[in-house]
Amino acid sequence: MDKIFLQKMHFYAYHGVLPEENRLGQRFQVDLELFLDLASAGATDDLQKTINYAEVYEAVRQEVEGHKYMLLEKLADQIAHKLLKEFAIEEVLVRVTKPDPPIPGHYQAVGVEIKRHKA
């Protein structure tokens, strides 16, 4: 299976359990791996035989910036289901990173990674 990936898409949104996360918002980073057969696109050089990256970005942006979820798990799951529904992909890996969560400690980031398949 071939793969298209989009890395380090950055968004500002209002997801989180704590009230200040919902009120003040914070940065989120999304990485995707889209699994599909790219042989036809490679052979024909035809955009219609592949996935338009700009459309994928916009679908993710709408989900991240247009909704509020408490959990990163829910956000990642919603992104995955949206992409599987709207695009001709067989499988998707979604990684959502929260670089600055309001929790004590020393770390670079927290996040979740999920993989979903077309039903």
Nearest to 69 by CA among 78, 80, 81, 61: 78
Q: Which residues, 6 or more positions from 1, have their beta carbon under 8 angstroms from its beta carbon?
A: 35, 36, 37, 90, 91
Catalytically active residues, by annotation: 98
